[in-house]
Structure 1
Amino acid sequence: MTDGAPPRPRCTPLRVLAPSVALAAALAGCADPGAGTTPRPSPSPRTTAPAELCTRLVTQWAHRLLADGGSGYGDYQSMGLSNGQYGILRTVLDAGRAEERRNGPGTARELTRRLAQRGCTERYRDGVPTEGPWQ
């Protein structure tokens, strides 16, 4: 036999869920009575245009590589770029590095942003390209 201590109550699912159910029922009475009666349209998802996404990615990598002193990161796929976007990045970086040597990092960042936007706008002017590796 035991030493006479009262038995410990067992933790059953009902004991665990009962307080939550009671709280939910109490809060349900506080809800707006008209809520849920009229379906509300869900907001449409925002999509980013391919040229805008390209500009963001190329600009981000150009700024990062300029800040790192030009050390390489990896191949274009590990950067999340297509082969065409990587081509734009290489062109942008070449111009950015030359600008940085002449006038400093501030003007180089601005130039890389403008060139990335120009290159990406040109690349996606007719929609998403379909030729080449990983588009």
Structure 2
Amino acid sequence: MLACSAVAGCGTADSGHAGRATPATRPATGPGTDGSGTASPAPRVTSDTELCTKLVGHGAREVLDGRAYGDYQSMGLSGGQYDILREVVDAARAARRQGTAGVGELIDRRAREGCAARYRSGGPDEGPWR
């Protein structure tokens, strides 16, 4: 009887099994689904360049706003990414001193350019943290 109710849903209204969703009838949930039983699209992989750009841009804004904390490792950056961050911050500080509008866009552009150059050939070439 248990197998019958789990597979075919053949319980009676007063048995407590009628109309109850079973593993065979309820929508799929968990990773890869949206809870309605429909598979959700696979997550998009972030490239090294995109990740570097986001980390460096965020870190540069933190430094410029006086909220930076610790060294490059505590910021989640490699040594090479930190070099890019320092160049971006230097350029942003100079632009800010000159009263240039669009410092945020400057940060984004310089971070993107620096990271693209760094990862153009696929990644760092001198050890894992370089």
TM-score by length of 2: 0.67
Q: CA deviation at 1:118?
A: 0.3
1:34-81 per-residue CA deviation (whole Å, 9 max, x = no partner) reads x8xxxx98844421000010000000011121122xx65211111000
- Higher helix fraction (1 or 2): 1
Q: RMSD across aligned C-alpha pairs, in angstroms?
A: 3.1
Determine the structure 2 residue equivalent to 1:53.
51
Runs of 4+ displaced beyond 4 Å: 22-25, 40-43
Classify the secondary structure of the residue corresponding to 2:102.
helix
Larger Rg: 1
Write the distance in 1 (CA, Å) between the matches of 2:59 and 2:125.
Answer: 23
Determine the structure 1 residue equivalent to 2:65.
67
Contact 1:83 1:132 in 2 (8 A): no
Corresponding residue pairs, total? 105
Of 80, 85, 93, which aligns to 1:84?
A: 80
- Opposite residue 83 of structure 1, the aligned amino acid is G
TM-score by length of 1: 0.65
Contact 2:57 2:108 in 1 (8 A): yes
Determine the structure 2 residue equivalent to 1:117.
112
Name the structure, 1 or 2, with higher relative contact order (CA <8 Å, separation 6+): 1
Contact 2:81 2:115 in 1 (8 A): yes
- Indicate the percent of aligned positions where both proteins have the same amino acid: 50
Determine the structure 2 residue equivalent to 1:12.
none
Contact 2:62 2:68 in 1 (8 A): no
